Structure 1
Amino acid sequence: MSTIRKIHYILCFTLLLTASCNKDFVKLDPTDKISDDQAYSTPNAVQALMVSLYERIGWNFEDQRFGEGGPGNYTWIWTDEAHGSYTWSATANTNTVSDNFGWWDYVLIKDLNDFIAKISDATVTAELKTRYLSEAHFLRAYIYFSMVKRYGGVPIVDKVLQIGIDELNIPRSTEQEVYDFVEKDLNIAIEGLLTKYEDGTDKYRATKYAAYALKSRAMLYAGSEARYGTVQLNGLLGINSTLAQSYFQKAFDAANEIIKNEEIKLYKGNPDYALNYQKIFDGSVDPNANSEIIMAKGYAMPNNAYNFDLYNAPQSFKVDWGCFTNPTADLVEDYEYTDGTAGKLKIKDGSGQYIKYSNPADLFKNKDPRFFATILYPNATFNMNGNPQGNFIGIRRGIMVGNNTLQTDDANQTHGSGTFATTILGKDGPTVANGDQTKTGFYIRKFMSESSSFIPGWGKTETPGIIFRYGEVLLNYAEAAFEINNATQAAWAVNEIRERAGMPKHVSIDMAKIRHERKIELAFEHHRYWDVRRWHIAHTLFNNTPLHALHPFLVWEDGKPSSEMSYVFQIVQIPNRPTRTFLNATYYFRIDNSGANTYLIQNPGY
């Protein structure tokens, strides 16, 4: 990444406090150590406060917090998308889907409330007051939405509380009231936010269309809870089913406002369908040149980068950690073929005999192009860290010798002799027990920094984190449209997504197709975990459910180099991994009602 681009990322997301790159940042003491007179006394000081609010929610934009944090923060390892490779990781040792994704940030809400109360008296123009006020409402809505989808109803605090004057033990509001509060904040934000910013920061801060995107997501969730959930605890959990239609209509309308903006559209910068999709996410296209990105978080070394490539580099490309995200064979088979047929892998022929493939990659021929951009599969081409053992993914579980199968977790163990000797295990696994290598036969490609000159390391991932993109908006629109009995518009939106991906259009549409498209298009974007919860299907989808791995085997032929031998494949339950189970209580997370929060009503099951 060029130095200019690094500087651009830093300036954009942190909202440079001055217009010129040659000027210094305004440096302020922490806001709890300065007076209001100082904090609101100059345009630069007020902007510094706005910056601090963005920075405090910045790493907490939940989609990115889970992406940039440690591997245990990946929501996808708790769904049917992937498994974690490390034998000591939680998914290796427990079958119960985790609820360890809490978010309860009333300190930031307090400071946002303080900002909202005081911005009217700040020494800035009326235009800036409106803009900053609207941004604060957007950020507050983001936090409350992130809490309500976890806990149901939470206390609504919309002002700065005064000790001795206000009641501090504020009870939980109903789930409906919180969603309505989110909508109210977003409507204020939409009214006052700009569609673009003159300084070019509109991809890195809240715009009118970012607020519409959040509204489409939040109202879709509210509608789902009303339609598929159950009202409990006198409305602290759940929403009356009679309100489902109105929430879905609001989600539809919000998404439609973005669809009407001709400048926001699906990215189509490359004629190759797979490469085009890959470039949306891998950081090779500047977000300002990506028409699909509505809002993103920017990163830059040395002080504002993260570890995604370090944690997920395939075995033969890694520096230290690596290998963690292992997509399941179940997800792989969810990717259709380009003729629109179901994506079941062709392992055996009609007579039940294994099909032999001269190139392992041929097993995936004619898959949905998004598969090739999302998942690294056996013999896929890949570049990183100078390609120390070749620029391909070497996946082999063992060797078939006649009726016998040789398997090992030892990367150094070989079969054959002399020039024909070859390792039993592929250079990138898969292993069953030992090592970090993939346990499913696959690695993640989406988001990865693919370049032979890139060396993964601590704090070296600079790939922008997409918070809202047009692809999600279209899928929100499609789902909401179908829920309000507008199948025509639902089909249009889904087919826009499929056409961009090089997939045939659906002639008819139903909810199963919409949900399937959402799973494929938004894979590894931290939507699946929340989608199966809001649809209330997680307990059946993950009812003691085994997930699967792909094991390629080299078919041994004496007197031939391994490069001339064929491969066969087996799909097996992921070895040494428990089945996946979702507890009904996990539809709503446990509320920490210790200490000052002892008065709060706890959610069922805790």
Structure 2
Amino acid sequence: MKFKLNYIALSILLAAGTSCSKDFLDRRPRDLIIEDDAYGSQSGIEALTVKLYNDMLLEDFSYEVAEQAGYLSTVTDEAVRSYTWGAGVINGTVLGNWFGSWDYAKIRRVNSFIEKIPTSKVSDDLKARFLAEARYIRAFHYFQLVKRYGGVPLVTKTQEYAFGDDVAGLFVPRSKEDDIYAFIEKELTDIKDILPTTNIAVDQNRINRFTALALKSRAMLYAASIAKYGQVQIDGLVGIPKAKAEAYWRSSLAASQEIINEKQYSLYKGDIDKALNFQNLFLKENNSEVIFNKVYRTPEVGHSYDFFNAPQSFKVDYGCATSPTLDMVEEYEYVDGSSGELKYNDKSGNPIVYANPYDIFKDKDPRLLATIMLPFSAWQGGELEIRRGIVRNGQKVTAENLTTGYPETGSNFKIVGKDGPLTTADPTKTGFYVKKSMDPTKRVNDGESVAPYIVFRYGEILLNYAEAAFELGLNTDALKYVNEIRERAGIAPKSSINLEQIRHERKVELAFENHRLWDLRRWRTATSVLNNTQFHALYPWLVWEEGKDPSQMKYIFEKVNAPKNTRTFPEKLYYEPLPQGAEPYIQNPLY
């Protein structure tokens, strides 16, 4: 149903939700502190900011879509959901509200803090910093709203309601999408030089000047893309005029350039081994590349990413949630820069027989080895045994469980590897497991993971710069920063660049960091990339040789359709539907 007015009843919206994420730094909000007293000291104000930080939707390891352990990668071309329960929701008809986050109670808390901090009993310098942090958090909230809904009500003052008041006085019109991005841009520009350039140890994970620049780099890139590739609808409540694309790209470029020029951050290069280096980037807290991250401290605060994504034979309980697609694996080029398709068959079309099955991944981009667990790769002191079955005398023998022995039922050697793949039950559906940000040393129980979640890192800034530069016709600059990323990765540089190559580099560099879905949406390519697309799996088959120990036998590989994963992405999902029940308002297009 479409209503004739474009207003949101904030009296309803303010009650929409008060949930928050579990941690800011290693502390919990001090909910029992009396607010008026809190403004009387620096420690009291810091306690209040803990709640503001916790309110930020960082889309971290706890961010889920539709179902428990429904990670954002599993609704893109990066992965499919392994669990059969919930797969019908994620892979089925999209009705909207997948990625929604409409919670004005959080914005109200920030507005209240902004209004009260000038009267607090701390120094003017501290007032300025706390005020700048709060304005950043408010801008961050509005970025998360605008990238989901387009134009939303822009509320920058606290609203009070007394019994008997006219509720109509609380209605605030939806602003245009362009106006929300312009607000974010102005806020970040105004506060960036107020925030500290560096943080001392106790404040290491708080917002600083570069956090503001990083958000500006990302948000303005989104606005520019939407202006160029989207369309203006319902009088600008969604969409941005195409004429504004260039200005937004220049704004994004300038923010990225400022971070680059200051040289406070750099691509992480702490390990000689290229794969190990990229793996450790996501495990070593506050390394040279991290601009802003969310940290965890157990036993008080942890996350469950390892628990839900551990391979079948390495799991504590659940495990296996995310199955990276073969299509994603083949996005990673070979180190010489050649296309990344795996070598299954020889020139005659016959399967290539591998004495060492891991050799099918030889000379692939080291980032692949650090991002995705591959069949027969080492893990936590063991080996990932992924085998779909046996080939004996040209005939394939498989099973739908991990327990059937071969050649006899009770044999210790099993038809299917201890880590799958299977088309049913929990183990991988594609022959792969996710590796980025996973603990490589030990099994981790529910809620006990401590790998930091990186919100902004220098590698993204270089890619933001490259994309904006190319869109502005600065191809040489774009090529320079793409090659910096590739050099760190350990693959051949490019001699020229185009937009698809920049987008490809972004896809492989930022895989499983919750960027892909939003990139596909802002480029308006999700309908072609995701709609009714069949993703693929890799099946290793053991070539059975009578009288030999299975450990000495060879393997062939087969590319097959991944089971039950064809999904639907209608055009309407470029925006989320505004929440039902808060009226009157104009609903987003096609809902």
Q: TM-score when scaled to structure 1?
A: 0.90
Corresponding residue number in structure 2 for 1:66: 63
Corresponding residue number in structure 2 for 1:123: 121
From 443, 464, 476, give the equivalent of 1:455.
Answer: 443
Alignment CA distance shift 1:549-1:46 (3 Å): same
SS in 1 for 2:193: helix
Inter-partner Cα distance in structure 2 for 1:365 and 1:227: 40
Residue correspondence of structure 1 range 364-443 to structure 2 within 5 A: 364-383=361-380, 391-416=382-407, 422-433=413-424, 435-443=425-433
Shift of 1:473: 0.6
Per-residue CA distance 1:393-441 (angstroms, 9 max, x = gap): 00000100112110102212122259986211001000012x2110000
From 290, 294, 297, give the equivalent of 2:294.
Answer: 297
Deviates more, 1:455-464 or 1:508-517: 455-464
Aligned Cα root-mean-square deviation (Å): 2.1
Corresponding residue number in structure 1 for 2:539: 551
Instruction: Report sequence identity in percent.
Output: 45
Q: Given that residues 65 and 72 in structure 2 are in contact (C-alpha distance below 8 angstroms), is that contact kept between their aligned partners in structure 1?
A: no
Alignment CA distance shift 1:553-1:456 (3 Å): same
From 157, 160, 163, give the equivalent of 2:158.
Answer: 160
Structure 2 residue 588 is matched with structure 1 residue 584: no
Q: Given that residues 295 and 453 in structure 2 are in contact (C-alpha distance below 8 angstroms), is that contact kept between their aligned partners in structure 1?
A: yes
Per-residue CA distance 1:89-146 (angstroms, 9 max, x = gap): 2357733457512111210111111111111111000000000000001100110000
The one-letter amino acid of 1:55's match is N
Inter-partner Cα distance in structure 2 for 1:526 and 1:81: 10
Alignment CA distance shift 1:92-1:360 (3 Å): farther
Shift of 1:162: 3.5
Residue correspondence of structure 1 range 3-42 to structure 2 within 5 A: 13=25, 29=32, 34=34, 36=36, 38-42=37-41
Shift of 1:487: 0.6
Corresponding residue number in structure 1 for 2:19: none
Inter-partner Cα distance in structure 2 for 1:43 and 1:11: 20
Shift of 1:15: 7.1
Residue correspondence of structure 1 range 500-519 to structure 2 within 5 A: 500-519=488-507
Inter-partner Cα distance in structure 2 for 1:198 and 1:55: 21
Residue correspondence of structure 1 range 125-140 to structure 2 within 5 A: 125-140=123-138
Structure 2 residue 527 is matched with structure 1 residue 539: yes
The one-letter amino acid of 1:29's match is L
Inter-partner Cα distance in structure 2 for 1:362 and 1:497: 25
Corresponding residue number in structure 2 for 1:90: 87
Alignment CA distance shift 1:320-1:291 (3 Å): same
From 173, 195, 198, give the equivalent of 2:197.
Answer: 195
Inter-partner Cα distance in structure 1 for 2:464 and 2:27: 29
Alignment CA distance shift 1:261-1:69 (3 Å): farther
Inter-partner Cα distance in structure 1 for 2:220 and 2:119: 33
Residue correspondence of structure 1 range 464-479 to structure 2 within 5 A: 464-479=452-467
Inter-partner Cα distance in structure 2 for 1:73 and 1:352: 38
Corresponding residue number in structure 2 for 1:345: 342
Per-residue CA distance 1:291-349 (angstroms, 9 max, x = gap): 00000111011120011111011011111000111100000111100110000010001
Alignment CA distance shift 1:437-1:419 (3 Å): closer
Alignment CA distance shift 1:578-1:266 (3 Å): closer
The one-letter amino acid of 2:261's match is K
- Unaligned 5+ segments in structure 2 are 1-21
Corresponding residue number in structure 1 for 2:217: 216
Per-residue CA distance 1:266-305 (angstroms, 9 max, x = gap): 0000000000000011x2x232xx1000001110111200
- Unaligned 5+ segments in structure 1 are 1-9, 17-24
The one-letter amino acid of 1:347's match is Y
Shift of 1:497: 0.4
The one-letter amino acid of 1:515's match is R
Inter-partner Cα distance in structure 2 for 1:53 and 1:184: 21
SS in 2 for 1:242: helix
Inter-partner Cα distance in structure 1 for 2:31 and 2:244: 47
Q: Given that residues 420 and 561 in structure 1 are in contact (C-alpha distance below 8 angstroms), is that contact kept between their aligned partners in structure 2?
A: no
SS in 1 for 2:541: strand
Q: Given that residues 249 and 471 in structure 2 are in contact (C-alpha distance below 8 angstroms), is that contact kept between their aligned partners in structure 1?
A: yes
Q: Given that residues 67 and 74 in structure 1 are in contact (C-alpha distance below 8 angstroms), is that contact kept between their aligned partners in structure 2?
A: yes
Shift of 1:512: 0.5
Structure 2 residue 50 is matched with structure 1 residue 51: yes
Inter-partner Cα distance in structure 2 for 1:155 and 1:593: 15
Inter-partner Cα distance in structure 1 for 2:66 and 2:285: 23
Inter-partner Cα distance in structure 2 for 1:367 and 1:176: 42
Inter-partner Cα distance in structure 2 for 1:91 and 1:124: 54
The one-letter amino acid of 2:139's match is A
SS in 2 for 1:294: strand
Q: Given that residues 28 and 45 in structure 1 are in contact (C-alpha distance below 8 angstroms), is that contact kept between their aligned partners in structure 2?
A: no
**Relative contact order, CA 8 A, sep 6+: which one is greater?**
2
Q: TM-score when scaled to structure 2?
A: 0.92
